[in-house]
Structure 1
Amino acid sequence: MVLDKRRAHLLSIIQHSPDPVPTKELVARMNLSQRTIYYDLDQINSWLRTEGLEPIESQHGKGLFLPPDSKSKLMVSKDQSFEDWQYQLSKEEREVLIKASILLEEQDASMQRFMDLTSMSRGTIAKVIKDIKKEFREAGLHLYYKKGSGYRLNGPEEAKRTMLSTILATIFSHHDWQNVRNEVHRMIQPEADTWSQETEQRRMVREILYEAEKELGLTLTDEMVEILSLQILMIMKRIELHKYISVPEAEKEVLKQTEAYKAALHITNKLEVAFPDDEVCFITMNLLGSKVQQDNFNRYTEQELSGLKEVVQRMIHDFQLYSCVVFDDKQGLEENLISHIKPTFYRLKYGLSIANDLSDSIQTTYPDIFHLTKRVMRHLELYVGKVVPDEEAAYITLHFGGWLTKEKKKVETKFKALIVCENGIGTSNMLRTQLENLIAGLNVITTLSMRDYRTNEYEADIIFSTNYIKEKDIPVIHVPAILTNLEKERVMQRMNELFDSKPTEKNRTDLLMDVIKRYATVHEEDALKKELVQLLEQTTPTIKELRKPMLNELLTEQTIQLKDRVTDWEEAIKVASEPLVKQQSIRPDYVEAMITNVKELGPYIVIAPNIAIPHARPETGVEQLGMSFLRLEEPVYFSEKEKHRAQLIIVLAAIDNQTHLKALSQLTELLSNEGNIEKLIAANDQETVIELINQTIEV
């Protein structure tokens, strides 16, 4: 019997959890029904028994857990899960393995080899090859079959390297792809066994990369070190096969001016293979495009940063404009963003791939912030001359989101915490913000890479880690990079267990059983307990999600006005604000604050021709979230310039940096259509405005 990928992943979740895992958590994380989860657990337990291991057990009122003996036997080292599971590969894993074989095993890329690698039939592989051929063709490569020799690939080495970079990035973004990682590792280093059993050569490359980090004054993410190690070993293999890359002379001259080129020379000079200058430049490109855990902002010269600094400043300016918020620590955000956007720029410039396994989760959890980030990415796109893919935009969303969701709290520190996260600066900061906002009195001292955690000693009350790590003297709570409400609830429960000195109450299941036994005869106590546990898990109170009202909840008949004219822009703001003052959403001093802002800062509130969105800080007079709409038949001018005239005045009264974002995003969608703007200006009644708003929301 073998485990398929889904069941292997389910077992991995339970294996890595230090606490019993509630069924409802598995339902949410796996996106499966409760019935399917229980069916899969039966199959997993059958597999465990055939392997001579104790099955998964259930702890009443807590969840599912793997007995310690089984857990320890499934571990090959103290920090890594076992990698020898024989599970059925997914379609994507099989395709990646076949592509890797074609690119790396040119003499062995045969139908039989593909069948051995993937356990697929000849017919199924033939269909996969058809899709792969198309993908290679789009990349400028030609895949063909040579009788007696197998599959061959023609085309420029540059295109092959790009494809290989994509494959490596994809493999390392899927942490449960141990089997694929093992196979690709063996393709590059035939003497290798599993990924966790490091070869001497790979260890040497990794150590040289650590030296290069010091030379560059930065710390790469743990994942990036592993990818670069394998990539350098792959380059060495390509050189041995006389497969060389070619870099244009002009580009080489640019690359040679960078500190990364010096680091690349340091790396290649320490290895036993002679690297041509073009290959040193290729390593330079990859170093420049690498994700960093920490970066020393002060090491960059003004000349190095001038262009990117201007891009980042424009992005921050527009983000504040579109979101109607002001970042308190703008300088900190600027430095944070530059540290991320610098490698992003080089990845885009040189066509280097990044696989972001958090992209979907980020877009789902923070859709409004992602939408705003996509809007401001145009500055980077203009600078680099390429479209920024969603995977890159999602990471940048985390930087804006981390700053946007920070809450200014003056709370006495109760718990000193560390975060161990290998996903880079943006992810670490977002996780830090989520945890500090969630747990009163939590102060995150620093964020660490796995490397730092293993090699240094730290003082803290609690550690939060996105990877499985064994506890030392400090308790560890394992968390995903993006916390769902369910995850937040689990974190709070674990914190209460660790730090709440009150005696634990008898769990609700046993209390219910006591009541039932007083009035009924229970024939199957274990079965009844199991049903009660499932019922209580479904009805356990959850952390409420921050409610973000829709645009049609804020702009109603009571807050929409249609007027012919006003005397000037000051009166326009006053008239537009009247409905909000009347319903006590704002105080009169908020109106004065908006007017003062325009006088001091200029007509920044005119975000587009004919559209102005007056707003000020919440503390200047906002009582509750509100928005009001004023249409003028005759435009009002916020300066002498034609571009600063407006006929649509939308007053925003935000209570924080987040609650208004959904409505604002919908307003942006409404006003991004020229036809809608014309209809709003021409509207004769409130119903027309409301109808346009509703149409936008429904789309």
Structure 2
Amino acid sequence: MIDYRMSYLINRPDKVGYTIQEINEITGLSPETVIDQLGKLNEQLQQFSYEPISWEKDRIYFSKQVADKWLELHFGKLETEIVYSEYERQALLYLLTFIAEEDLSVYHYQEFLQVSKNTILADIKKLRKQLTKQKISLDYSRKSGFYLSGCEEDIRIQAHQMIAKVVSSVSGKWGLKKGLIKYSKTVEADVRSYFFEAIKASELVIVPSRIEETIYFMAYVLRRAKTCSFRLDTQAKDTLKELNAFNGSQLFLAEFPEILEPENEQFYFTLIFMTITQGEIRDTALEFLLECASQIIHEMERLAAIEFKAYRKLLLDLFYHLVPAFFRIKYRFSLANVLTEEIKEQYVELFALTKIALHPLEMLIGQAIPDEEVGYFTILFGGEIGNQRELNRVIRYKALVLCPSGISSSLIMQSELKELFPTIDFSLTTTVDQLESISESEYDVIFSSVPLNTLKKIYLVNPIMSQLEKNNLIRCVQEDLLIPGIVVPSIDEIIEILLPYIELKKGVTKEKMYRILNRKMIKKLKAKEDEKPMLSELLTIDMIQLTDKKLNWEEAIAYAAQPLKTHGKITEDYIEAMIQKVKDYGAFIHIGKGIALPHARPEDGVKQLGMSLLKVEEPVFLLDDPKHEIAIFICLAAIDNEMHLKALASLTKILSNKENLEKLLAANDQETIIQLLKEGESL
């Protein structure tokens, strides 16, 4: 693409010559970059048979076509090649109305989207139906044309959701730029330039993956803010005013004096800044979120029965992510996370535990946490759990991991790669700019989620890989780098090996064989990976006890753990360690609703993975504290941080279901408990 800063040239009179130095001053691009951009621009002009750039006496002249056909030159595509999807048409129709400064008619929509009148009328009907659910209406009057009615906050949030979705496609981005160019040829460039200046001056750190949608959203809101204003309540204003981002918002909006109510918009743009800004530990106004991050970590440790060794590092990583997430959720800014379904599928147990561990954030905000946000926290915890594996390895190669999708995706990608290739030393980088600042002598290969122009060996991978993708990547890396291990042949290779020795039945083709083998391999690989036992597989009848004895809390833990000791899964030392942990750290094993989960570290005396359950008739008070009344003790003997997660995820489902929990607490025999556990697994 042609650099967006070159658009500053199309806002000037044509047939006026410029020197390289003048273009440098107008665009802010270096002389070398200007020359490179002029070359690219000329190539596009010639490709589309437009009048090329001319040089006369060291001055450069641009034809009127450079301005008229700017979008085609910028994207390297003719407008006739742009086809909007139905959703994109309706989103752009909404956004055109969102920033309209003129009376809009069906004809205006037709002309912009280059479709028939009937298509526009059908889109308007469908859009109105969707907007009704958001309490927004697309109204029409002869005097004013089409306009949006409803709460201004709802109208803006709807615009943000639409921009976040359409910005990911070429046609969507084309439409967004076209909508802005209609009013100003340089507004996008201005927003980008002043935004980065404000970010730098305020010393804010932004999440790279959210920049594009935010730039366009701010540009569209700036247009709307010329005629419509948005007001926050006093309490929200007081909170926002204390943030470093408020200063950034003021600096940014000072460049756009034409908005209707600049003082009110300063608060709204502070919100926008905060939705993509990583937490800053020096920002004292955010201390409440640092405390929330600490509570979430402790909740995860309690629920998953694990201990994060690098606690401070995890606390900071979680805080960095929690800050923008808090503002997104509280003020309903959508998060377009295309990985959500994959995360829920591949990290089922961890997702379920994370959702519950986020309770402190839920209480702070006063609303449920969307699955898209839960997904990002899941891979943050997943990456940390993966990083805690102790790997005795000989490092032979150094690799960079590049994933611009944010810190959470980067961590999970790095963690998965470490598991696949224990003989490679991985270093993390989250932006292309960071990569460019690292000497090539410091790494041998790159694993990236985005294409790169580099002389180094590069492997393109998804942040979360399917089983088949992992298998193919292992094979490629082993072949290229000669890493010891068994190379699994590809499906193509298997078929090519078999074909000379088999006779295909009528109607069976090579392609059909490939599809069948592909499905079989994915099924086998999933079955192989999914070795984590279920709750009912661990809590068998010989691991469940009921008693009417009156026990103190130490006796109850020891009693509950006896089946594990009897079956050789733990030693006596482990029982003592579980009791000592409660003495050292308090009633942390109380996971709520009368359930306690005693556990210690694997190295404290675990021989095999196991769980045992004790139901007491006489309630037991942990640490003799009536606030921690326990009816059921479930002892966990974990061999690592992961094998027991499926069982614990099922347990949390049971505890979260009021009816099942009541049945469990009322059960008076082992068979009933086992049946309830099995039912809980299918929730």
1:362 aligns with 2:362: no
More off after superposition, 308-317 vs 161-170: 161-170
Alpha-carbon contact 1:611-1:648 (below 8 Å) kept: yes
Partner of 2:246: 261
Where does residue 452 of structure 2 map in the other structure?
A: 469
Which whole-Å CA distance do the structure 2 matches of 1:476 and 1:77 have between them? 30
Distance in 1 between residues matched to 2:232 and 2:659, nearest whole Å: 48
CA contact (8 A) 1:609 1:643 kept: no
Note the C-alpha offset of 1:182. 0.9
Alignment-derived partner of residue 282 in structure 1: 268
Question: What is the match of residue 570 of structure 1?
Answer: 554
C-alpha distance in structure 2 between counterparts of 1:494 and 1:116, whole Å:
50
Contact 2:532-2:646 at 8 Å conserved across structures? yes
Aligned CA distance change for structure 1 residues 121 and 693 (closer, same or farther; 3 Å): farther
CA contact (8 A) 2:188 2:219 kept: yes
CA separation of 1:151 and 1:211: change in aligned 2, threshold 3 A = closer
CA offset digits 1:424-457 (Å, max 9, x no partner): 1111112111111221122222213134345765
Shift of 1:374: 1.9
Instruction: Confirm whether residue 132 of structure 1 aligns to residue 132 of structure 2.
Output: no
Query: 1:203 Cα shift?
Result: 3.9
Matches within 5 A, 1:418-437: 418-437=400-419
Question: 2:598 aligns to what?
Answer: 614
Cα deviation, 1:277-317, whole Å, max 9, x if unaligned, reads 3333322221122154xx6x55x14x323211221111111
Quote the offset at 1:339 in angstroms: 0.8
Which residue pairs with 2:192 in the alignment? 206
2:329 corresponds to 1:348: yes
Find the aligned partners of 1:419 and 1:94 in 2 and give their Cα distance: 37
Tell me, yes or no, if structure 1 residue 550 matches structure 2 residue 542. no
Post-superposition offset of 1:421: 1.7
Question: Does the 8 Å contact 2:407/2:430 carry over to 1?
Answer: no
CA offsets per residue over residues 85-119 of structure 1, 9 Å max, x none? 95865443343233223323464644345556668
- Counterpart CA distance in 1 for 2:123 and 2:545 is 60
Amino acid at match of 1:220: I
Confirm or deny that 1:587 pairs with 2:568. Answer: no
Contact 2:240 2:246 in 1 (8 A): yes
Match for residue 394 of structure 1 among 372, 375, 384: 375
Q: Which has the higher contact order (CA 8 A, sep 6+)?
A: 1
**Structure 1 residues 101, 410: CA separation in 2 closer, same or farther (over 3 Å shift)?**
same
Q: In 2, distance between residues paired with 1:156 and 1:85? A: 37
Equivalent residue in structure 1 for 2:352, among 331, 351, 371: 371
Alignment match of 1:223 (pick from 185, 209, 216)? 209
1:478 matched to 2:463? The reply is no
Taking the TM superposition and a 5 Å limit, the aligned residue runs for 1:490-639 are 490-500=472-482, 507-515=493-501, 533=514, 537-538=518-519, 540=521, 542=525, 544-639=528-623
In 2: Cα distance, 1:652 partner to 1:250 partner: 45
CA RMSD of aligned residues (A): 3.6
C-alpha displacement of 1:183 = 0.7
CA distance in 2, matches of 1:272, 1:456: 41
What whole-Å deviation, never above 9, does each CA across 1:559-611 have from its counterpart, x for those lacking one?
Answer: 11222215432332222222222322223322222122123223322222532
Counterpart of 1:448 in structure 2 is: 430
Deviation of the 1:616 alpha carbon = 0.9
Q: What is the aligned partner in structure 1 of residue 64 from structure 2?
A: none
Amino acid at match of 1:133: R
Contact 2:353 2:652 in 1 (8 A): no
CA gap of 1:110–1:346, structure 2 versus 1, over 3 A, is: same
Distance 1:84-1:221 versus aligned 2 partners, 3 A rule: farther
Please give the alpha-carbon distance, in whole angstroms, between the structure 2 residues aligned to 1:287 and 1:613.
41
Is the 1:206–1:226 contact (alpha carbons within 8 Å) kept by the matching residues of 2?
Answer: no
Unaligned runs of 5+ in 1: 1-75, 193-198
1:164 to 159, 165, 171: 159
Q: What SS is found at the alignment partner of 2:446?
A: strand
Describe the SS at the equivalent of 1:220: coil
Q: CA deviation at 1:157?
A: 4.3
Deviations along 1:191-245, one digit per CA (max 9) or x if unpaired, are: 89xxxxxx76534533433333333434423332222322333244335x53444
Instruction: Confirm whether residue 182 of structure 1 aligns to residue 174 of structure 2.
Output: yes
Q: Distance in 2 between matches of 1:649 and 1:587?
A: 18
Q: Could you tell me the TM-score, scaled by structure 2's length?
A: 0.79
Query: Which secondary structure state, in structure 1, belongs to the residue aligned with residue 426 of structure 2?
Result: strand
Aligned to 2:292: 311
> 1:403 maps to which residue?
384
Change (3 A) 1:676 1:513: closer
Which piece of structure 1 moves more, 621-630 or 402-411?
402-411
Conserved? CA contact 2:243–2:285, under 8 Å: no
Q: Quote how far apart the aligned CAs of 1:336 are.
A: 0.8
Between the aligned partners of 2:320 and 2:591, the Cα distance in structure 1 is 29
> 1:111 corresponds to which residue?
106
Please say if residues 311 and 380 of structure 1, whose CA atoms lie closer than 8 Å, have aligned partners that are also in contact: yes
Contact 1:209 1:225 in 2 (8 A): no
* 638 and 427 in structure 1: CA distance in 2 versus 1, 3 angstrom threshold: same
Given residue 359 of structure 1, which amino acid in structure 2 is its aligned partner? T
Counterpart check, 1:242 vs 2:227: yes
**Match for 2:385: what amino acid?**
L
Structure 2 distance, partners of 1:137, 1:533, is: 47
Secondary structure of 2:335's counterpart equals coil
Partners of 2:593 and 2:655 within 8 A in 1: no
Distance in 2 of aligned mates of 1:626 and 1:181: 54
Distance 2:570 2:77 in 1: 59
Q: SS of the counterpart of 1:405?
A: helix
| Matches for 1:293-312 after TM superposition, within 5 Å | 297-298=280-281, 300-301=282-283, 303-312=284-293
User: What is the aligned-residue identity percentage?
Assistant: 31
What is the DSSP-based 3-state SS (H/G/I as helix, E as strand, rest coil) of the residue aligned with 1:590?
Answer: helix
Which range moved further: 624-633 or 341-350?
341-350
Distance in 2 between residues matched to 1:474 and 1:414, nearest whole Å: 16
Q: 2: CA distance between counterparts of 1:352 and 1:188?
A: 22
Gaps of 5+ in 2: 1-71
Count of aligned pairs between the two proteins: 602
Deviations 1:628-676, CA, capped at 9 Å, x for gaps: 1112222233222223232311111112212212211212222334554
- The one-letter code of the counterpart of 2:139 is Y
Residue 550 of structure 1 contacts residue 663 of structure 1 at CA under 8 Å; is this kept in 2?
yes
Paired AA for residue 343 in structure 1:
P
Alpha-carbon distance in structure 2 between the residues aligned to 1:351 and 1:83: 37
Contact 1:633 1:681 in 2 (8 A): no
Query: 1:179 offset after TM fit, Å?
Result: 0.7
| Cα distance, 1:327 vs structure 2 | 0.8
Q: Which amino acid aligns with 1:414?
A: R
* TM-score when normalising by structure 1: 0.77
Is this contact kept in 1: 2:180–2:187, CA < 8 A?
no
